[in-house]
């Protein structure tokens, strides 16, 4: 696997936190940042799928934004009664 070196600017406090976690996990800074990037990309893809699914369901069921807001409000109200 080929790699490319990049330069990234961080606030000193964030870089200190990155280095602290990397040291705790016996990783290099690069390894930690690569894993963080992979996790971010995976999470972004999951959320994109969730929103795409939601949008397709709303179109299929002909739901308006107001309908969705109403459903969310009703669900939260019902949930709060159970607690």
User: Long-range contacts of range 21-25, CB-CB < 8 Å, 24 or more positions apart?
Assistant: none
Distance CA 76, CA 70 (A): 10
pLDDT in tens, 34-61: 999 999 999 999 999 999 999 999 999 9
pLDDT in tens, 12-33: 999 999 999 999 999 999 999 9
Reported confidence tier of residue 7, pLDDT bands at 50, 70, 90: very high
Distance CA 22, CA 25 (A): 5
Reported confidence tier of residue 82, pLDDT bands at 50, 70, 90: confident
């Amino acid at each position: 696997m080929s790699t490319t070196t990049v330069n990234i600017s961080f606030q000193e406090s964030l870089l200190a936190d990155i280095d602290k976690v990397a040291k705790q996990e016996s990783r290099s800074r690069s390894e930690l940042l690569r894993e963080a990037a992979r996790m971010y990309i995976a999470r972004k893809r999951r959320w994109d799928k969730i929103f795409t699914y939601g949008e397709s369901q709303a179109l299929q069921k002909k739901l308006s934004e107001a309908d969705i807001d109403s459903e969310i409000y009703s669900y939260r109200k019902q949930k709060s009664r159970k607690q």
